[in-house]
Amino acid sequence: MSRSLRAELLGWLLLPLAAVVAFNGWSLHRDATRTADLITDRTLLASARVIAEQVKEADGRIESMIPPSALEMFASPDRDKVIYRVLSPSGELIAGFPDVVEPPMRPRGLEPAYYEGQFRTQAMRAVALAQPVISKVDGGNALVIVATTLHGRDRLVDEIWLTSLRDQLVLVGIAALLTLFGLRRGLAPLLRLRNELRSRNPESLKALDRGGVQSELRPMIDALNHALERVQAYIALQRRFVADASHQLRTPLAVLKTQVAMARRDDDPQMRGEALAAIEGGVDGMGRLVNQLLTLARAEPGGAALRKEALDFGEVARSATESLAGIAFDRAIDLSFDGAPEPLSVVGHVTLLRELVVNLVENALRHIPRHGAVSVRLAREGGQVLLAVEDNGPGIAAADRERVFERFHRLAPSTIEGTGLGLAIVKEIVAAHDGAILLMETQPPPGLRVEVRLPAAAPEPPPG
Ligand SMILES: Nc1ncnc2c1ncn2[C@@H]1O[C@H](COP(=O)(O)OP(=O)(O)O)[C@@H](O)[C@H]1O
Ligand SMILES: [Mg+2]
């Protein structure tokens, strides 16, 4: 499922805010009700006090006058109904409605008691107030109850809490809009990059413009540009390689064609035989070249997936060296092999590692004069396995030690067989095995010493 930055950010912003607003709404409503009740209660009490003051004995009877001011204080646009009831100390109704809501319990002492109840069909808030009456007839506390309907109170509550709630909702709405707006602005450079990438020529590997992009995104653009650069370099390398390879194949093909033409023309069987032998040599050379090109393709990063395994590099090097004994014999070269006493465990690709040794030893055998000497030595050096191939030929000048690793770069005269790919292949194989290679002079010169170091695998547990 694709995730939307917009939806995610809005979700993170709006859901918690909605919860906060809901809680605020609840607590605002509670506080507003408290405030409105307090105001209602004040009015109720004031009204009850005015009425209570008028309760007195006259002509041996307790009576109560209801002054108009006692009820006027409730005047409001809400037309709340106000009712009252006054009971003499003996419980006789002396004013008001008989069925005004009774307090749940009588007020204790002279403290007013506030309560809510139902009067006929209407919810009311009421106060009950005890009023001491001095009288010989009916002494004690008279009870004054004043009650009012709740329209005014409810409107006040709504006014207080709905206004606050609306303000908060507006705030949340503004926050959401600003977030969307900010995202739109923030994402604009990315969208511009996307459009630029979409509309660009498929071959273009030009770096992306990082101007106008936020600092947080710059590392990403830089990484992308870096990757593009590498792709560019890689493609250039491949192009050159293909061009070089076809050039390398075209020359021997042209030579072959002339040789074939000559063999056709020649009637002398001996000359014809020589021409055919030359053709065979040419075909062999081309076969070698094609094989080396394939090895190179395989050793390259991203080439055929390398299946590596633990192997004894000493054994691989020994058999590779042995396979070259024929060349050493033909050129009367003293080829010596000096293996390590213990197995040299390495995690690697057996065919490629064999190719590495063959290329180095074959170079030594071919690039030195006849009757020379070549030694192959193996050793374990700490966490590494060392392969050293030494010869007593002309060596490679320090200035050329980098360039000989380039593909098709040869210093040797064309009389010496070769494709110029050997050291390039060796370099790729060493890299594919996280190793290192070094060319140096022999001690004493002249001669070439090639050192290859590969990371050693954990040694095999000793038998038994
Ligand atoms: N042991 C060596 N002694 C002297 N020169 C060497 C030796 N090995 C390689 N070279 C030089 O490095 C060049 C590149 O080697 P390489 O890539 O194997 O190509 P090739 O052997 O096909 O010419 C060779 O042409 C040769 O000039
Ligand atoms: Mg070579």
What pLDDT is stored for residue 35 in this prediction? 92
The Cα–Cα gap between 258 and 263 comes to 9
The Cα–Cα gap between 100 and 120 comes to 9
* DSSP states of 252-296: HHHHHHHHHHHHHH---HHHHHHHHHHHHHHHHHHHHHHHHHHHH
Q: For residue range 129-162, list pLDDT tens digits in order.
A: 998 888 777 678 889 999 999 998 999 999 988 9
- Spell out the domains of the chain, with CATH numbers in brackets: 5-158 (3.30.450), 218-299 (1.10.287.130), 309-455 (3.30.565.10)
Three-state secondary structure call for residue 243: helix
Report the share of the chain in percent with pLDDT over 90.
41
Q: Give the number of the atom of ligand 1 that is nearest the alpha carbon of residue 359.
A: 18
Report the share of the chain in percent with pLDDT over 70.
97
Q: For residue range 16-71, list pLDDT tens digits in order.
A: 988 999 999 999 999 999 999 999 999 999 999 999 988 888 777 788 888 888 88
What pLDDT is stored for residue 332 in this prediction? 96
Closest protein CA for atom 4 of ligand 1 = 395
- What's at 130, amino acid-wise? A
**What phi, psi does 428 have (nearest 5°)?**
-60, -40
The Cα–Cα gap between 201 and 115 comes to 82
Segment 296-324 mean pLDDT: 84
The Cα–Cα gap between 425 and 355 comes to 8
What pLDDT is stored for residue 138 in this prediction? 65
Pocket probe mutation, ligand 1, options 356, 358, 363, max atoms within 8 Å of Cβ = 363
295 CA distance to ligand 1 centroid (A)?
Answer: 17
What pLDDT is stored for residue 313 in this prediction? 97
User: Does 43 contact ligand 1 (Cβ within 6 A)?
Assistant: no
388 CA distance to ligand 2 centroid (A)?
Answer: 16
The Cα–Cα gap between 289 and 282 comes to 11
The Cα–Cα gap between 331 and 324 comes to 11
What pLDDT is stored for residue 69 in this prediction? 82
User: Does 372 contact ligand 1 (Cβ within 6 A)?
Assistant: no
- What's at 462, amino acid-wise? P
361 CA distance to ligand 2 centroid (A)?
Answer: 9
Segment 216-225 mean pLDDT: 89
Q: Identify residues whose C-beta is under 5 A from ligand 2, the ion.
A: 363, 418, 422
Best mean pLDDT range from 110-119, 123-132, 279-288, 313-322: 313-322
Q: Would the pLDDT of 272 be above 70?
A: yes
The Cα–Cα gap between 192 and 221 comes to 13
432 CA distance to ligand 1 centroid (A)?
Answer: 21
- Looking at the CA of 421, name the nearest ligand: 1
The Cα–Cα gap between 286 and 252 comes to 7
